[in-house]
Chains A and B, each alone.
Chain A
Amino acid sequence: MEFEQVPKLEKVKVYSIVTLILVIFGSGVSIWVANRIDFYTSALVHTEEVLQRNNELYANILERETSIRGYILTGNEEFLANYESSKLTGKEIFPYLFQLTSDNETQQKYLKEIQAHIQTRLEIFEQSKKYYQENGDLVGFLSPEKIENSINGYRAIKGLINKINEEESQLIIERNKILINNIAALPLIIGLISFMSVLMGALTLFSIFHFNKATKIKDEKIRISQELLKDKIEQLNESNDELKQFAYIASHDLQEPLRKITSFSDLLKEQYQGKLDEEGNHYLARISASAYRMRRLITDLLEYSRAGRDSDENVKKVFLDEVVNSVIDDMEVAINEKNAIITFQNLPVVDGKETEFRQVFQNLLSNSLKFAKKETIPQITISTAQAPQELIKTYPQLDQSIGYFLIILEDNGIGFDQSYAERIFTIFQRLHGKNEFEGTGIGLSITRKIIENYGGVISAEGIVANGATFKIVLPKPSIN
């Protein structure tokens, strides 16, 4: 049976895993982007704080400038109080700013510069305050050089404050840009990954669906082929029964008329012996001979069809030594007639039906006796060995994982041409004319059938006029 290409379960698994990886990756990317957004948002807040603090610093500086100026102009103590408090506030702002811009060296540098300028300015403030308090005015204190220094100092501070502001503004622009990019990319990334995940999910679902469908179809096909097989087995059983029926018919119905032909020709011969002329007697003899031969053929055919089955005999341990011994006993007359010498030793014990092994050795021995050389004393040797692995390998029907016996039967008879080695096992095949050697050519076929039924093989080797060798390979009995 052929099956349609079924999508492999592996494919479904791969799809599912890819989908899972995509979802995890997508989540990772989303979290990463979200973190970036969070980071830049707080960075922006941070920058804005720097800006605010910076402006506060500038306001503080201005306040100080204004207060000292107011005090010097009016002598009002309130300006002085403002000046003193702005000094304190200014001291608080600096560490804060230094801390905020700790990651930015440029800003730190600017701040340090501002601090230095402020220090210079403060010294002058203190001097002018002291001079004013002592003299009531600053007439003797001021000089064009000091005024210019004062203006330059203030400008420098303002310039630095602006630089800090610019720097921070630049940062705000940059960070805003990144933030906007990130915020803009986020839906795109999430969208893309979601799309791919959905796609992969759909693909997975589709392949699962396809897989299920194909599996169903496959199951159905298996079911159908199983049913077909069941039908075939039934048919086989039927034809087996028919075959048995045929064997029965062959043994009875076919034999019946044959038996009568024989009997009536016997009767004819007996009662009309003197009344027939020579030719008539000859014809009668031919009728008898043909009928006799046909009967043997039918009986042999029947025996062949029964060989290896249809018996109630139980399988048990068969001692082949004993079997061969008793076959020799049975064949005593034929053996003595030819003065044959049969030797055997240490034949194995095998599992099987004794009757069948008797048949095997009876057929082989009578075969060797039948085809013995006329002027030579027939010598038949049966020996046993372990079947070598190389021999077992040459027969594909043998199981290389179990052990086999090798039983060898050798004779010194007329042998045969090796090219007929297989033919001698074929039913009704004969290598010699039936006038030369009697027989139907069934003995070796039955032998092979029995041996093969036990999972073994039998082969023959021969040399014309120089004996034949039969090799039987039989499985060793299982341990149980």
Chain B
Amino acid sequence: MKNKKSIHILIAEDDDDDKLLILKAFEKCLPKENVTCVSDGEDLINYLSKTSSTDDSIYPVPDIILLDLNMPRKDGKTTLQEIKSHEDYRKIPVIIFTTSNLKEDIQFTYKMGSSSFITKPGTFEDLVKVTKEIKNYWSSTVKLPT
């Protein structure tokens, strides 16, 4: 039981600026070590594959994944499909966190099994608000499959 332990969030984001901003925003509600950032889908799958085989403190299993859609190498949609077709990873909630607000993207990702679709807020203030909501929702409001 990890009752006391706060949630661990894995973020796949290729843009350094966004990465910095998201991390800064999460810093306001989560300890630094609870947030891990990877640069694309390829890295994300690599990370996940290491969680089962290595020490939990270096590669902790994420409780939720924040996934950008537009990424080099493996993009968000492909990554989502891979996660959702994997026996172990499919249970991890995936939150699409992107600049897109295209209807097709929203429909596609929900169909593929994503848990939320969030369009990146335009201001830092809003970003802080959203990250806080994410943290609160997934760590307190709902129960996660641990």
Report which A residues bind B (CB closer than 8 A). 251-252, 255-256, 258-260, 262-264, 266-267, 270, 295, 312
Contact = CB atoms under 8 A, between A and B. Distances in A.
A264 B100 contact: no
B128 to A, nearest CB: 9
Contacts of B124: 262-264, 266-267, 270
A213 to B, nearest CB: 55
Contacts of A256: 15, 99
Contacts of A267: 21, 24, 124
12 contacts: A252-B99, A255-B122, A259-B123, A260-B17, A260-B21, A262-B122, A262-B123, A262-B124, A263-B21, A263-B123, A263-B127, A264-B124
Contacts of B15: 256
A255 B99 CA distance: 9
A252 B100 contact: yes
Q: 8 closest Cβ contacts across the A-B interface?
A: A266-B124, A263-B124, A260-B17, A267-B124, A263-B21, A262-B123, A259-B122, A252-B99
Nearest to B70: A252
B55 interface: no
Nearest to A253: B99
Interface string B9-24: 0000001011001001
Contacts of A263: 21, 122-124, 127
Contacts of A266: 123-125
Contacts of B24: 267
Nearest to A311: B103
B120 interface: yes
A295 B123 CA distance: 11
Interface in B84-132: 99-101, 103, 120, 122-125, 127
B22 to A, nearest CB: 10
Contacts of A255: 99, 122
A238 to B, nearest CB: 21
Contacts of A295: 122
Contacts of B101: 251
B99 to A, nearest CB: 5
A264 B25 CA distance: 11
Contacts of A312: 103
A252 B100 CA distance: 7
Interface of B: 15, 17-18, 21, 24, 70, 99-101, 103, 120, 122-125, 127
A214 to B, nearest CB: 53
B109 to A, nearest CB: 16
A248 to B, nearest CB: 8
A54 to B, nearest CB: 122
A402 B122 CA distance: 47
Contacts of A260: 17-18, 21
Nearest to A267: B124
A363 B15 CA distance: 37
Given A255-B99, A256-B99, A262-B123, 20 more contacts: A251-B101, A252-B70, A252-B99, A252-B100, A255-B122, A259-B99, A259-B120, A259-B122, A259-B123, A260-B17, A260-B18, A260-B21, A262-B122, A262-B124, A263-B21, A264-B17, A267-B21, A267-B124, A270-B124, A295-B122
Q: Which of A251, A259, A270, A312 has the most CB of B within 10 A?
A: A259
Contacts of B100: 252
B130 to A, nearest CB: 12
A284 B87 CA distance: 50
Contacts of A251: 101
B114 to A, nearest CB: 19
A297 to B, nearest CB: 13
A258 B121 CA distance: 11
B142 to A, nearest CB: 28
Contacts of B122: 255, 258-259, 262-263, 295
A291 to B, nearest CB: 9
Contacts of A264: 17, 21, 124
A258 B127 CA distance: 14
Contacts of A258: 122
A245 to B, nearest CB: 13
Contacts of A259: 99, 120, 122-123
B13 to A, nearest CB: 12
Contacts of B125: 266
A259 B120 CA distance: 9
A233 to B, nearest CB: 26
Contacts of B21: 260, 263-264, 267
